[in-house]
Amino acid sequence: MSQAAVTEVDARGLQCPMPLLKAKRALNSLASGDRLQVLATDSGSQRDFQVFAEQSGHNLLSAEVDAEGVYRYLLQKR
């Protein structure tokens, strides 16, 4: 079984709705099962990515924030 590809989007320093829009654009170019990691610094992105995953059907595999305030989201395209 092959491991899904992981693409990264760096949206640090961008404000809502840009991190989510960049993620949506990247997901459109991925194959089903591929993964997208998004880096963001906008605290509003927490809610945005949760709601987006619920509404779009993509899987939000993880959502973390580090000590520097960088949010990391790992999504898997459906």
**Mean pLDDT, 10 residues at a time, the chain of 78 residues:** 77 96 97 97 96 97 98 97
Reduced to 3 states (helix: H, G, I; strand: E, B; else coil), residue 78 is coil
Q: What is the pTM of this model?
A: 0.92
Q: Which pLDDT score is estimated for 5?
A: 73
Domain range summary for the chain, segments of one domain joined by + = 1-13+33-78
Nearest Cα to Cα of residue 65 among 44, 51, 55: 44
For 64, phi then psi, to 5°, come to -135, 160
CATH of domain 1-13+33-78: 3.30.110.40
The active-site residue out of 14, 16, 39, 65 is 16
5 labelled catalytic: no
